[in-house]
A and B are shown apart, each in its own frame.
Chain A
Amino acid sequence: MIEALNLSKSFNSGAAIAADNISFTCADGEIVGFIGPNGAGKTTTIKMLTGIIRPDSGKVVINGFDMAEKPLECKKIIGYISDNPDMFVKLTGYEFINFMADVYGVPENVRAERIDYFAEQFGMEKSVFSQRMTGYSHGMRQKTMIIATLVHDPKVWILDEPMVGLDPQSAFNLKRMMREHADKGNTVLFSTHVLEIAEKVCDRIMIIDTGKLIYTGTMDALKNGEEGGDLEKIFLKMTAEA
C-alpha cells in the first residue's frame, strides 16, 4: 500500500513547482495508472515515493513504514523502474541482475528461478545476459531493467513508463504480470502516456497536471456520463481546463 500525504516539491529554490500538495492512496490489490502531460510532475512524484528525492513537505508511507523515518524498510518493499534504462551499461545483464539481487538479499536458487521465468516472459535468450548491456537495444535494456527490479519479488511496484520500448508480446505479458501481482494483494503504480493501457489494466487512474492532482478515481466513475466514456476526450478536456 502506498500512501502519499500532501506531497509538495519545488526546484530551484521555489522557482519551479513540480508537485503541489499531492495526496492519494494506492490500496493493496490495486493497479493505479498515473497519467498527465509532459512535465506535469509524474516522475517527480514517483521519485518522492521511492525515496530518490525528499518532499519539501508531506510524507510517504509504504506498507505502514514512513519513508522519512524508516527509509531502508520502505525501499526493501519497493521495486522501482526509472524512466531511463541506460544504467550500468558497462555491466553484463547477469552482473546487473545479480547486483540488484545481492542488494535486496535474494537467495541464489530463487533468483535463478525468477530470471528463468522473466526471460521466458520477455522472450529473451539467456545467453544475451552474458554480454555487456552497451550492446543491447533500447527494449532489451528496458527488459533487463524490469527483470533486475522484479527479481527480489517486491510487494509494491512503482514503474515510470515501463512499457516504452517493449514489443507487443512483452508489453502484453507485463500487463498480465501486473494484474497477477495485484490480484495476490500487492500494489502496482505506474505512469504512462498511452491512454489505452491505462484504460485496460488500471483499477483506478490519477491525472496530474502542472503539479496538481486533478482527478483520482475509478475508470467507471470517470467515464460515467462524460463525453460518451472516451478517456482520450476526457483527458484532453481536463488537462486543457486545469
Chain B
Amino acid sequence: MRPLIIRRLASVIMRSNSMEEAGNKKRKAWIMGFTAFVLLFVVIPVTVMTGFFTFILTKGLMQTGHPEFGIKLMYGLISIFTVVFGINVIFNELYFEDDISYLLPLPLKPEELVLSRFLAVFVGENMMQFAVVIAVVTGFGIAHPMNVLQWIISLAAGFLLPVIPMAVIAIAGMLLMTFTRFIKKKETVRRISYAIIILILAAGAMMLVSIDISEIVVFIIEGTASNVLFVKILDIIFPQTGLIADFMASGSVWPILVFAAICLLSLVLLSVCARLFYMESVTRLNETTHVQKNAASSQSVVFRSAGMSLFIKEMRILVRTPAFMTNCVAANFVWPVFVLIFAKIMRADLGRAALSAYFAEQSHKTAALAVILAITMVTAAMNCLGSDSFSREGKGFDYIKFIPVSYKLQWNVKTAAAMIWTLAGTVPFFTIFVIYAGFEVITAVITMVLVISSAFFVTELGMLLDSLNPKLFWLDALSALRENYNTVFCMGITIVVCGLLAGGLFLPVPAPVTAGIEALLLCVADVVLYLVSMRAGVHNLMQIGE
C-alpha cells in the first residue's frame, strides 16, 4: 500500500466530485459570497448553540456525578447523522460515481482505491461535523476543566469519531454488494437510505410520544440516564462514544487507547475486505448495467403546442430523474407527516369540533396563518424547483437558446412546472385545514391568496437567482442540487422574508387585516418580480455560457 498515492487520489477524487468551473470570475465571487453566507448564518449559529448546550448539559450533569453523559449523548447524535448521510454517500463513492470506470483500468490495488475514496468522503462530508465537534469539546471543557493534553486528544478523538461508523458502512456495503445482487442501481441505495431515515425519525417520534419529558429529567437528576432505552441503544451501537466520553471526564488513558485500537482495526478490516471483495463486486456491477426497459408509449407521434411540449418534457425529467423526483417532487408532500407527528406528540385532538373550537380564538388563528405561510415558503424554497430550474438542464442547456421558442415562454413554462408541484403539496392540505378549522370565508380566501402568492414569490426569486449564475457542470443530478448555491441563497432570502411576514402577522391589529395587507404586498411583489423576470431574467438567460 502506498499512502502517498492514496492521498493524491483522494484529493483528485474530491476535486472531480465538486467539478467547479475554473477561471470564471463571476462564479468565484458567487462562491465567496456563498461561503460567507453559510459561515455567518449556518455554521456559526449552529456551533455556538451546540457548544452552549453541551456546556449547560455538562454543568447540570456534574452535580449528578455523570459529567460524561452530555458528551456521550452529543456524540451519539452526531454518529446517527454520520450513519444516515454516510450510507448514501459511501455507497455512491465506492460503487456508483462516474469516475470509477476511469480509475478501474489504472494499476492500483483495490485497498488503495477503497481507502482513497474513503478518505475523500471522510474529509468531504465531515467538515461541518468537525465544527460541531469542536463546539462540543469546547462546551464540555469549559464546564469540566481538562488539561492541555486532554484537550488535544479530545479534539483528535472527536475528529476521528466518524471513522468507525463509516468503516462499518463501507465494509457492510462491500459484503452486501459481493454476496447479494439486489443492489444494482443508485436509486436502490437512495431508497434504502431514505427508508432508514424515515425509520429513525419514526422511532424517535415514537419515543418522544411515549416518554414523559419529566421522566427523563428525573433520570438525569438521579444519574440513571443510561436506563433510558434510547441511550441504551446508542451505547450499544456506538460504544466508541462512551470511550471518548469516559476519557474526557476522567482523563484515564485506557478508554482512549481502546478507541484508537478500534479505529485502526476498522481501517485494517476495511483494507482486507477491499482486497478480498471490492474488485469483484465493482466490476460485476459495471457488467450488469442494464438497458432500462420502460412502458413503450404506444403512440409514436403526437402533436402538441411548443409550450405544452416543453412543459411535458420538464415534468418527465423531474419525475424520471431520481434525485429530482425525491428532492423536488416528493419533498413537497413530506411536511404533513411531520405536522401529524407533532400533533400526536402534543396530544392534540384533530377532530373537526375540537379544531374549530381551538381556532375560533383570534391568536390561534394568527399562529395558524403564520405556520401556513412558513410551511408554504419553506417548501417552495426547499424543493429547489425555482432555484434549480436552469441548473437542472446541465450540459444540455444550449437547447434553450437554439430552439425557436421565445425565452419568455420558456421561462413561464418553467415557472408553471415549479408552481404545480409546490401548490400540489400545499393547497389541498390547507384547503382541508381552513374548512376543518372553520375559518370565515374572508380569512380562508386570504389564506389561499397568501399561499399562492408566497409560493410564486419564492419560485420566481429562485429562478431569477438561478438565471444569474446556474450550475451547469455536473455529473450526477444530485450534485445539480447539492452544489448549486442558488438554492441556498434562495432559502436564506426566503427565511428572512418569511420571518418578517410571519412576525408581521402578530402586530396588534386584527389578523385578517394584517394577513390581507401582507397578501396584497406579496401580490405586488409577485408582479414586480414577474416584470423583472420578463426583462432582466430573460436577459440573463442570453448571457449564460458566454
Contacts and interface: CB of A to CB of B under 8 A. Distances in A.
Interface of A: 9, 11-13, 15, 47, 50-54, 71-76, 78, 80, 82, 84, 86-88, 90-92, 94-95, 98-105, 107-108, 111-112, 115, 126-127, 129-132, 134-135
Nearest to B316: A91
Contact of A103 (B25, B310, B321): B310
Contact of A115 (B290, B300, B404): B300
B196 interface: no
A51 B396 contact: no
Contacts of B306: 102-105
Contacts, number: 116
- Interface residues of B, dominant DSSP: loop
Interface string B279-311: 000000000001111101100111111101110
Nearest to B321: A90
Contacts of B12: none
B405 interface: yes
7 contacts: A12-B24, A86-B396, A87-B399, A105-B306, A107-B303, A130-B296, A131-B294
A11 B26 CA distance: 12
Contacts of B303: 101-102, 107-108
Given A53-B545, A75-B402, A98-B309, A132 B294 contact: yes
Given A102-B306, A103-B310, A105-B306, A88 B300 contact: no
B403 A135 contact: no
A90 B296 contact: no
A47 B310 CA distance: 22
Nearest to A136: B291
Given A84-B395, A132-B292, A51 B313 contact: no
A135 B293 CA distance: 9
A194 to B, nearest CB: 24
B292 A95 contact: no
A90 B401 CA distance: 20
Contacts of A107: 303
Nearest to A111: B301
Interface string B5-27: 00000000000000000011100
Given A54-B542, A86-B395, A99-B313, A131 B300 contact: no
Most chain A CB within 10 A, of B308, B395, B398, is at B398
A200 to B, nearest CB: 28
Contacts of A111: 301
Interface string B403-417: 111100000000000
Top 8 A-B residue pairs of the complex, sorted by shortest distance between their CB atoms: A102-B309, A135-B291, A130-B296, A75-B404, A87-B396, A76-B404, A52-B401, A90-B320
Nearest to B309: A102
A53 B402 contact: no
Contacts of A86: 395-396
A51 B401 contact: yes
A188 B308 CA distance: 31
Contacts of A78: 402
A13 B23 CA distance: 11
A115 B301 contact: yes
B546 interface: yes
Contact of A47 (B23, B293, B312, B398): B398
B27 to A, nearest CB: 11
Interface string B531-546: 0000000000010011
A227 to B, nearest CB: 38
Given A54-B542, A88-B396, A94-B297, A103 B292 contact: no
A33 B294 CA distance: 40
Contacts of A92: 294, 297
B403 A103 contact: yes
A95 B401 contact: no
